[in-house]
Amino acid sequence: MAQILGIIGGGQLGMMLAEAAKKMPDHISDVIVLDPTENCPAAKVGAKQIVADFKDEHAIIELSKKVDIITYEIELGNSDVLKKIEANTQISPSPDTLKIIQDKLSQKKFLQKNKLPVADFVEINSLKDLSDKINEFGFPALLKARFDSYDGRGNFKINSKNDLEIAYKHFNGKSLFLEKFIDFTMEVSVISARNTRGDIEVYPTVENIHEDNILRMSIAPARISKKISKNAEAVAKTTMQVLKGAGVFGIEMFVTKDDRIIINEIAPRVHNSGHHTLQSSKTSQFEQHLRAILGLKLGSTELLHPTIMYNILGPKTFEGKYKPITLPQQKGVFLKMYGKEESKIKRKLGHINVVALDKSMTISDLLDTVKQLKKKLTVQPMN
């Protein structure tokens, strides 16, 4: 019998989950999202919407009464409220898993306890605490917010003693921890899925290129050796085994100069670096997430075509309404705009997937195509 799906968050990830749900009418009859932005991207593709903050207890309870199963596309939901209602409504990933991941210090402790590779870290309780403990790590080091931060917004790189007070005050009283800086050669991620039966599948490792702490481009497969790639995928599988939550998770990692894998962060949801799967893979990450939380057999994660995903971001030059972005039809180029009405600095407005449909095409060829298309993807203010 088809179920009603509830999603906390109705941004682009919620939109693409709703689109995937439409293709599974035997399993999902309707989608309701909870999002504070009226007519959010998910609502624009037919999802019903409750307009409220992600942490609003009354709204979460209202959502739970209207749906059979709840998931999320943003990790800012109220895990305590979700825990209260899980006796009556299935929630995946579980509130317990969400709670571990929401607190980045707890996340690190959990991974360390389970012998998974993470950078050295320590809790920070005061400016003096920071001044004392940074001597263990040396410079540079990263001061990080424990809660409510993503896309690098909760990180401050401390390069010298002169930065200590500036860094501490930057967080304005938030709970913090300090992390050893990893001088990595590459940032990678593994999109991983675990269904409610405990079956696990991972997608091939992808290479991520960031600008100002925001993901700009993902290259699938990553330009690393098979040995490093297999190691990253093995770490991802072990992570999914110990976390136990059902759904798709984005596991971000560093490749060190001596070819080790270090886990950076885990997102308990579909992930920006998995957007390539819409065209590159037999099963998109969005379909896979739904299959996972519904307890269905997981789909194939085989990479059919090397693909580059390039994010279309709001520029630093303006905020507000912007000209529609379109591209002439071109083989192997797929444009996806999210329907956001206003551009904000570094806001994710859409992406393109450039796909090697021709077997002779290389990653280098795909990068050339992305370079040619960049100018056409520049966000311009509406006149």
Confidence of residue 340 (pLDDT cuts 50, 70, 90): very high
Q: What's the CATH fold of domain 3-91? A: Rossmann fold (3.40.50)
Q: What is the pLDDT of residues 231-255, one digit of tens each?
A: 999 999 999 999 988 999 999 999 9
The pLDDT mean for the chain works out to: 96
Does the structure show a pLDDT above 80 at 20?
yes
- Residue 21 CB neighbour total at 10 angstroms: 26
Contact 313, 277 (CB under 8 A): no
Question: How far is the C-alpha of 165 from the C-alpha of 159, rounded, in Å?
Answer: 12
> What is the percentage of the chain residues whose pLDDT exceeds 70?
99
Does the structure show a pLDDT above 70 at 110?
yes
Chain center to CA of 109: 20
Question: How far is the C-alpha of 339 from the C-alpha of 31, rounded, in Å?
Answer: 18
Confidence of residue 289 (pLDDT cuts 50, 70, 90): very high
pTM (2 d.p.):
0.96
> What is the percentage of the chain residues whose pLDDT exceeds 90?
94
Question: How far is the C-alpha of 215 from the C-alpha of 207, rounded, in Å?
Answer: 11
Contact 379, 314 (CB under 8 A): yes
Name the token pair of 133: 């403990």
Q: Please state the domain extents for the chain.
A: 3-91, 120-180, 184-377
Q: What is the mean pLDDT of residues 190-203?
A: 98
Helix, strand, or coil (residue 186): strand
Contact 86, 237 (CB under 8 A): no
Beta strands in 80-148 (DSSP E): 90-91, 121-124, 141-145
Does the structure show a pLDDT above 90 at 92?
yes
- Of 80, 86, 136, give the one whose Cα is nearest residue 103: 80
Superfamily (CATH H level) for 184-377:
ATP-grasp fold, B domain (3.30.470.20)
Q: What is the mean pLDDT of residues 344-352?
A: 97
Question: How far is the C-alpha of 350 from the C-alpha of 312, rounded, in Å?
Answer: 5
Confidence of residue 127 (pLDDT cuts 50, 70, 90): very high
Specify the amino acid at residue 168: Y
What is the residue-wise DSSP string for 251-270?
EEEEEETTS-EEEEEEESS-
As beta bridge partners, residue 261 has 255
Angle at 162 between CA 160 and CA 164, to 5 degrees: 85
H helix or E strand, kind and range, residue 106: helix 104-113
Confidence of residue 150 (pLDDT cuts 50, 70, 90): low
Q: What's the CATH fold of domain 120-180? A: Dna Ligase; domain 1 (3.30.1490)
Question: How far is the C-alpha of 277 from the C-alpha of 305, rounded, in Å?
Answer: 10
Does the structure show a pLDDT above 70 at 350?
yes
Q: What is the mean pLDDT of residues 162-166?
A: 96
Question: How far is the C-alpha of 318 from the C-alpha of 310, rounded, in Å?
Answer: 21
Residues 308, 208, 206, 266, CA torsion sign: negative
Q: What is the pLDDT of residue 152?
A: 61
Does the structure show a pLDDT above 70 at 201?
yes
Q: What is the pLDDT of residue 383?
A: 81
Contact 34, 50 (CB under 8 A): yes
Q: What is the mean pLDDT of residues 314-341?
A: 96
Q: What is the pLDDT of residues 43-86, one digit of tens each?
A: 999 999 999 999 999 999 999 999 999 999 998 888 999 999 99
Does the structure show a pLDDT above 70 at 256?
yes
Contact 296, 195 (CB under 8 A): yes
Q: What is the pLDDT of residues 204-224, one digit of tens each?
A: 999 999 998 899 999 999 999
**C-alpha separations of 316 from 258, 313, 319, 340 in Å:** 36, 9, 8, 17
